[in-house]
Structure 1
Amino acid sequence: MTFQGTVEVKKHRHLLLESLKFEKIDSRHDNIKKAHAKTCQWLMQHPDYADWQDVQKFGEHHGILWISGKPGAGKSTIMKFAVSQASQHGQGTVISFFFNARGEDLEKTVLGLYRSLLYQLLKNIPDLQSVLDDQSAPPLGKDMTCSWSPHKLKSLLLKVIEQLGTHRVTCFIDALDECAEKEVREMLSFFEELGECAASSKTLLYACFSSRHYPHVHIDHGLKLTLEAQAGHAKDLEDYVRTKLKNEDGESPQTMEIVEEIIRKASGVFMWVVLVIDILNREFQKGRMFAVRQRLATIPERLSDLFRDMLVRDNENMDDFRLCIQWVLYSRRPLKRREYYFAMVSGLYPERLEHQCAEKISEEAMDRFVIDSSKGLAETTATPETTDMEPTVQFIHESVRDFLLKDNGIQVIWPEAAPDFEATSNEKLKSCCSSFIKITDLGLLSLFDRVPKPLSKALKLGKAPLLRRELTKGYPFAEYAIRNLFHHADHAAGSTPQIDFMTDFSSTDRADWIVIYNVLQKYEKRRLHETVSLLCILAIHNSACLIRQYLHHDLQERWPRSWPTMENYCTPLHAAIFEDSEDAAVALLSRNGKYLHKVLPGLANEGVDVDHSDSKGRTALLLAAEKGQDRVVKKDPRNLEVAVAKNFVSASRLLLKSGAHVSGDSLRFAVRKSRREMVEILLDGDTDVNSSDERGYTALHLAAELNLEAIAQILLEKGANVQKQDESGRSPLCVASAKGNLSLADVLILGGADVNRADSGGHNALWRAVWSGHVMMAKLLLVNGADIHCAYAGGQTLLHIATQRRKHSVAGMLLAHGARVNQGDQNGRTPLHYAQYSVMFMKKLINNGADVNSRDDTG
């Protein structure tokens, strides 16, 4: 490769690596408070933790440690401590991920987990970044981002583990209960696969998980540690209480009795202790020594009951508290500190907004307001000094959300509002957004004095960054308010009709909203025409409930009969489909559940022109077909081939019922596009499941190549020939083996595939697995009867091939399964002759019995 080529490869790798990162990749870890002095130390000496670290006992626990505990027990704190200790004491490469149910999507899904772990591994071990050259890595978009999927990330993680060799990796994953249960179960299954892969390549992979006691997740191997049952944890609680309790009597018998009672009632829950110490210290500070014991006796033992007790006793500033809870529970994303402050002012004192925006409010004042308005149940998160991320406002612990939503906390605090609390809360948040937008629009007038008129001209002249910077600086809540006004209105619509809101917006507020919206858009193609209709705006924001109310009440707007020229938003239906607002698109096409393409004449009066084309000549329905939105497209295509190509599921089913013939091409097309439902529909027709293309590829060959396990199972159940060979003599199992598609190969073997069947070149599935370096695939084939001693072209054995291709993990596995280390090829050369490029691997062969005195035919 040329120097220029090398530079381009490195640049491409760097861009892919950076695309794995996301803004709050370490947010939860950074926000967990550091362990109190001298606490958590016991974990390092705990027998289970020591056994987990002991290499000699790795075979017993498979590198798995599970720490479980009650909500608020301090699991995240001890996990952060464990990560720090592992990093400091040379436990190989240390990677971690802390799930965060209060965060954004990537903070609470396995997609974020896999991105984070892969990023950390490649960042810490740069030599492994070559895996990003693999075809399974997604392409870079124009904006240098990638569409990462869990499947692609898992594939790359497996390749990384395969290449680690004898390296040691320690992985900590906290708060599994803050991720969807189904995702957690799939993730644990994947970690078992990672563990098997690591074992084959002699990698030591340690994984420490933490979660609540529920949901229960079974693991076959591993050590388990219950946090609140540990003596060391109880001692930590006692030390914390002694340190934090502001009692002048020090170690007096009365004080020790109080300490013991706190520990007893806490039942191992650190969060309970923190809250109770604060309550008792208020009594101490008032000099009410006599009242402390009595107050402690009245404090409930359950954490949720403690929250209830705190709120029932404190009735001050309840309007502040209610709005705080509404924002933290129902904001579309966690609000930044300044956003929260002005969002609260918008709802509590809208008449003071203009004055407050002009004042400089200190961060300390805002932090105090967060604590006061939330009654101590919310906090401003910490952010690393090395970043410019602004702190966000979140609950102090996930148990607060549990209390409010799962333990009927809202019913207790606001019994009159509980039935529709979410909808009425969104109505209030909509009102806050609307109030702030009005004051923001007034503020923009002063900004316009600095830029050319009209605004559209200023934006085209590159003034948008200046305006955007000034706007967000002077009006911190503007961006959230503009982007989420319709989100909150839509979520309120189920309880509060939004007709008046939409009418007022269309007649008086729309122009102002469009101005601010356009200033906030970085890209010109996303800016809206000044005459864009409300219906189009609702479509862009996927406001399906609002659209249904709009159509039901026949709200009419006065907009041009010929739509403004906007590449992506030429009609509301185009806008909905382009923005992937599928709910909005369906709402535009339906009324009372009946699709309006049956009554096209009425659509024109409602601004929904199904046949209107965009600048690229695409009707909205054609655009929907290209984007795979089957719910939107319900028109019957002219034939089954088009229906399959466009994935019109309902239409395909209807055509088959009408007797349409299914070609093999249609079946293979559906398989190639991974359309399981379509495959099932076609197989219910008269298609030949074993028909092949010009290469001899059947639908099962394609499923094997693309790792479509579920589809392969369906094909086998419908009679697919598992032994059928293509033009090169390759069976589906050979294809799956070459690709390393392990689970698919397992399905084929269970379906009767011959593991030793060779292709036209004499190569069987095991040869292809070894050639490609797929350790687990080779192991699976051997376990199912593949011949490890078979000789191939030139008399080479599998061990020759693995050695020659430098697939050391595969070679090690073959040796472990009894491969003949001294068998020669047709020239008398043993694997040791092939291994001269690596002293370390030669030593490995010799340690496994290789004859150092063996000579080939040339002597």
Structure 2
Amino acid sequence: MTTTSGSHISSHGGGSQNVQTGDGPQYNNNDKGHQFNHNNFYGTNIKDPIYEEAERLQKEKEDCLRSLSYQNIDARKIDISSAHPTTCNWLFNTEQFQQWCQRIEPSSHNGVLWIKGNPGTGKSTLMKHTLQYCEENIFQKSIVAAHFFNARGDSFEQAPIGMLRSLLYQLIRKESSIYERFIPLFRDKQQKHTQWAWREPELKNFLLSETQCCPKPLVLFVDALDECSESHVRNLVRFLEDLSIKAKIALNICLSSRHYPNISMEKHLELVVETTSEHDKDIITYAGDKLTKIDEQIKTEVLQKASGVFMWVVLVIEMLNRAYDEGQLEAMHQLLQEVPSDLDEVFLTLLGKYNPRKQETLFMLQFVLFTERLLKPEELYFAALAEMKVHVGPWDPAQITPYDIRRRITHSSRGLIEVRQGGTVQFIHESVKDFLVRNKRLRILDPDLGSDIIGRSHERLRSCCMSYMTTQVSQSATDRAQIIALGNQYPFLGYASTCILSHAELSNSVKLAQFLQLLNDNPLILERIRQFHNTFDTDSCMEYIKGAQLPHMLAHRGLNRLMKILLEKEIDVDAHGGLFGTAIQTAVAANKGEVVITLLQNGANINLQGGILNTALQAAADHNHSEVVAILLKAGANVNMTQGGFAGTALIAAALKHNSEIMTMLLKAGANVNAQGGVFGTALQAAAVKGNQSYVAMLLKEGADINAQGGIFNTALQAAASEGREEIITMLLKEGANINAQGGFYGTALQAAAAKGKKDIVEVLLEAGADIKIQAGAYGTALRAAVSEGHKTIATMLLKEGEKVYGKEDISGTALDTVVKESEKAIKDMGGADVNTRGGANCTSSQATIYTGDDDGEALLELVGKWDSKSDYFSTALQKAIITNDDEEIISVLLKEGVNANTRNIAFKALFKGIPKQGKDLMGVLLKGEIRANCQWIFDTALCRAASKGMEDFVAKLREKGAKFNTRDIFFSYTLWEDSYYDVYRILLENGADINTQNYRVEMEVEPQRRGVYIWLCLAGLMLGILSMFMI
């Protein structure tokens, strides 16, 4: 609903209430009778526009914050043990800390305090305690943010981009002015891209800018810098140093890390944990509190042997307490003397002791060390049982409780694996991982691993995954719900199916060729992997759609080693299947350049067509993969292939994706700037839709035909008008664009601007000579478009322009004139008018009754039999009820009384618009009313609309109603290109839809109600809000 700030009059008495929120007056009458809402005809009291705007802004802020957040953004801080009572407070009295927090001689240290220490000295606990203390006692008037790196966590927890997103998320939540400066970046991303993610450079630049202008002092804590890769650590230190040097506000930064890698920062304060006597006192305090048997001599020996390593103290005290619990009081002193002082040697002692479950221990350590993703406790537990050849069947949580699982993991891992916040497992400390990797300790523990520890470990995990899927899980499942239920019964199934190929890629087994042959020759096993993968791999941007073969799966994952082994066999490298048609297209879409090269070297047809993006080059341009584009062009890809795909050509795809680099590459390679294809017809039209002035200029300079016709909008000018691109319209008109060119969905540029409510664009076009009287497009005229969409200001403007140019009698029709000129009067009584009167926004009186909110279902029964009369926009009362009302009772009455719900305009407009407008409840009513799922005018309306909106439930319901899943044009609605709709793709494909159907390239016709208009509507009518007529 269009809202603007203006006067607000609200009467809460018994009389009428008038609220002015749109381009014209709106009436809301609380007494019985009709209610007229010029903009939407909802038939309910409208919301205060100020409240609505506040709601919109709040949602936008939540979306913005969500774009910065990630699953484990706070997990590491929560996982870190809190400081033991009375410990860690010594830091606040040190000279370094006082100088840092009070900013004494800041030019000598630039506000940076760097806490360093050996592994296991308790740096993270100290940082967590310091953060809390500073927030509560020192920096209450500052904006404080903290990030805790975690090498055992997910990719965001280990990488600089995770730190940047975490810090900015906190800063934006705490300071509104930072949000106000950040939100333009978010809006720009939202406007330009359907799918996007924050990039490291842009977040670094923003954070740097905040150190120049933030109204409050900033305090940043960054823990465990060393838990990034060495290159990341160096870059981060340079960046943080840059922040401290260039800051024009009070900026304090507190860092912590190990001593290695040795990275210097010119100016900073430094504190080394293990060299402070106060840290030793903390160890004494902890030992005294945690030892079951208080013994001063033992506390002294613990301090001497610990060398400041808190992790050593924690592990050894646990061993000492166990000895005491077993009644071996006299053995505690002997044990303390025998335990090594080196932390690595303590780990070796723990693992080397008598252990009847040694193989299970080693397997758990291997799995956590080489896992492809974070593991859940139950995944590790059941994987270990499977590896130990223990068959337990389906998991019954009542018999094997989560507590039982945790106990087993703790015992079998000798206490070195823990369950972290969020329900995943990890080593208790990064030093455990260091111990296992360094000096081949894992090989010492398990000599069978040989020299290739990594390769043998991955082979063991691959074998375990395969065994679990083929022997442990005997039940079968076909649909998604059954597979999810199966996954709950067999907790390791999800990991096994999604990670088996990745472990195989890293395996050193000489039997990989045999393994691949088994998969390739056994469609049942391959299909099981495909089904399970599609259900459990929530992180993947693509699914192994029905028909995907092994090469497609390897290409999607980028498993080049396995691909090379597979290609040594006699396989069809160009076999079609899956979402992208061929293996090379799949590799291109997934940006797996090495696999692309391998496939080309083995004879893959670079220009083969098929799949959702038609060709490999178009797929590379569509996914913004410039390096892959270069590979394909060098290998001889046909730059002018125009036989299909959403974009039609690679150049159009690049224009749609705002990628000037790829556009330049393609043009230099000989791309035809005027080649036609796809939804938008030409690259110029695509660039105009996207609103990029520089791209339009580039294409015009390269010889683009400014008046080329084709595509959903017919011309670049109509495309720019529909999206309100005033600068581009001015440029196109200056370069000679035909302002009155006819064709496309809207017929003319003027009608497009009028329908979309672009008042400024309408003014520009009228001043440039746009003909108001032209009849074309879906609405017929620009005036009808404005009225139908409730844009009174534009309608009035067009009427005045028409009267000025043509004379009043020649331009105004009774219905249009009434709607525009009498919109200030409430509709009191529509019952006496001819129920079949057509024209204007209300079409017939029975439609107007529903349109204006009369909920007297019985009164409407008198009009049965007349409801199917047609009009130019809304065809029937039922359609009107569906699109404009939220009253299921009225719709149910209409259906019950025999209204023809399958007339072509109902099938097209009511279902087409009703699905997203009213949601699942309304669709349930419609389906109960026996609307034929395949009622077609030109295409399968309901199915196409449900698919295009990503409504998986209704695609399935329409399937039950008998919808034809192989209807042509079903795949080419733009919104299906979004990742969120892969579930819909899956249902369509798995029910026999032909992804290679290419009958979507239909010539546009000028006549407004011909098939071209509506087929193109199906193709891209929902794109980026272009067609508001059919949007929510």
CA contact (8 A) 1:238 1:263 kept: yes
1:502 aligns with 2:548: no
Q: 2:83 aligns with which of 35, 48, 65?
A: 35
In structure 1, the residue matched to 2:560 is 544
Write out per-residue CA displacement over residues 22-64 of structure 1, whole angstroms, 9 at most, x where no aligned residue. 0001111111111112111212222221221114443432211
Cα 1:171–1:314 shift into 2, 3 Å: farther
In structure 2, the residue matched to 1:50 is 98
Write out per-residue CA displacement over residues 714-773 of structure 1, whole angstroms, 9 at most, x where no aligned residue. xxxxxxxxxxxxxxxxxxxxxxxxxxxxxxxxxxxxxxxxxxxxxxxxxxxxxxxxxxxx
1:220, CA displacement in angstroms?
A: 1.8
In structure 1, the residue matched to 2:362 is 322
1:74 aligns with 2:74: no
Determine helix, strand or coil for the equivalent of 2:190. Answer: coil
In structure 1, give the amino acid aligned to 2:499: N
Cα 1:242–1:497 shift into 2, 3 Å: same
CA contact (8 A) 2:234 2:263 kept: yes
CA contact (8 A) 2:226 2:260 kept: yes
1:12, CA displacement in angstroms?
A: 3.5
Determine helix, strand or coil for the equivalent of 2:299. Answer: helix
1:527, CA displacement in angstroms?
A: 4.4
Cα 1:333–1:577 shift into 2, 3 Å: same
Alpha-carbon distance in 2 for matches of 1:69, 1:675: 51
In structure 2, the residue matched to 1:461 is none
In structure 2, the residue matched to 1:484 is 499
In structure 2, the residue matched to 1:619 is 615
1:163 aligns with 2:216: no
Write out per-residue CA displacement over residues 108-144 of structure 1, whole angstroms, 9 at most, x where no aligned residue. 1111111111111001112321122335876138998
Q: 1:533 aligns with which of 545, 549, 555?
A: 549
1:528, CA displacement in angstroms?
A: 3.8
Write out per-residue CA displacement over residues 460-495 of structure 1, whole angstroms, 9 at most, x where no aligned residue. xxxx4x446534433322222221110011111x34
Cα 1:418–1:25 shift into 2, 3 Å: farther
In structure 1, give the amino acid aligned to 2:201: H
Task: Give the alignment of 1:661-672 within 5 angstroms.
Answer: none
Alpha-carbon distance in 1 for matches of 2:410, 2:401: 15
Identity of aligned residues (%): 29
Alpha carbon RMSD of aligned pairs, Å?
A: 3.3
In structure 1, the residue matched to 2:74 is 26
Determine helix, strand or coil for the equivalent of 2:627. Answer: coil
Cα 1:185–1:33 shift into 2, 3 Å: same
In structure 2, the residue matched to 1:563 is 576
User: What TM-score comes out, normalization by structure 2 length?
Assistant: 0.54
In structure 2, the residue matched to 1:178 is 227
Cα 1:534–1:638 shift into 2, 3 Å: closer
In structure 1, the residue matched to 2:149 is 99
1:426, CA displacement in angstroms?
A: 1.1
In structure 1, the residue matched to 2:263 is 217
In structure 2, give the amino acid aligned to 1:315: N
Determine helix, strand or coil for the equivalent of 1:379. Answer: strand
Q: 1:366 aligns with which of 405, 409, 424?
A: 405
In structure 2, give the amino acid aligned to 1:236: D
1:221, CA displacement in angstroms?
A: 1.7
CA contact (8 A) 1:423 1:496 kept: no
In structure 1, the residue matched to 2:159 is 109
In structure 2, the residue matched to 1:572 is 583
In structure 1, give the amino acid aligned to 2:494: E
Alpha-carbon distance in 2 for matches of 1:676, 1:67: 49
Alpha-carbon distance in 1 for matches of 2:214, 2:530: 53
CA contact (8 A) 2:607 2:637 kept: no
- Which one has the bigger helix percentage? 1
Task: Give the alignment of 1:552-701 within 5 angstroms.
Answer: 552=568, 554-556=569-571, 563-564=576-577, 566=578, 568-589=579-600, 595-596=601-602, 603=603, 608-615=604-611, 618-624=614-620, 627-630=625-628, 633=631, 636=634, 673=661
Determine helix, strand or coil for the equivalent of 1:65. Answer: strand
CA contact (8 A) 2:220 2:254 kept: yes
In structure 2, the residue matched to 1:696 is none
In structure 2, the residue matched to 1:128 is 178
CA contact (8 A) 1:62 1:221 kept: yes
- Extract unaligned runs of 5+ from structure 1: 384-388, 449-454, 456-463, 590-594, 597-602, 643-670, 679-859
Cα 1:278–1:615 shift into 2, 3 Å: closer
- Extract unaligned runs of 5+ from structure 2: 6-49, 641-658, 667-1032
CA contact (8 A) 1:35 1:77 kept: yes
1:229 aligns with 2:243: no
1:621, CA displacement in angstroms?
A: 4.6
CA contact (8 A) 2:498 2:532 kept: no
Number of residue equivalences: 595
Alpha-carbon distance in 2 for matches of 1:326, 1:571: 36
Alpha-carbon distance in 2 for matches of 1:362, 1:271: 29
In structure 2, the residue matched to 1:807 is none
1:501, CA displacement in angstroms?
A: 1.6
In structure 2, give the amino acid aligned to 1:53: C
Task: Give the alignment of 1:355-434 within 5 angstroms.
Answer: 355-356=394-395, 360-381=399-420, 383=421, 389=422, 391-434=423-466
1:672, CA displacement in angstroms?
A: 7.1
1:638, CA displacement in angstroms?
A: 8.3
Write out per-residue CA displacement over residues 345-364 of structure 1, whole angstroms, 9 at most, x where no aligned residue. 22223533x24468642111
In structure 2, the residue matched to 1:335 is 375
Cα 1:230–1:137 shift into 2, 3 Å: farther
More displaced 10-residue stretch of structure 1: 295-304 or 18-27: 295-304
Alpha-carbon distance in 2 for matches of 1:19, 1:361: 38
Write out per-residue CA displacement over residues 62-92 of structure 1, whole angstroms, 9 at most, x where no aligned residue. 2111111110000001111111111222512
In structure 1, give the amino acid aligned to 2:197: S
1:239, CA displacement in angstroms?
A: 0.9
Higher relative contact order (CA 8 A, sep 6+): 2
Cα 1:469–1:298 shift into 2, 3 Å: same
In structure 1, the residue matched to 2:307 is 267
CA contact (8 A) 2:112 2:244 kept: no
Please tell me whether Structure 1 or Structure 2 has the larger radius of gyration of its CA atoms. 2
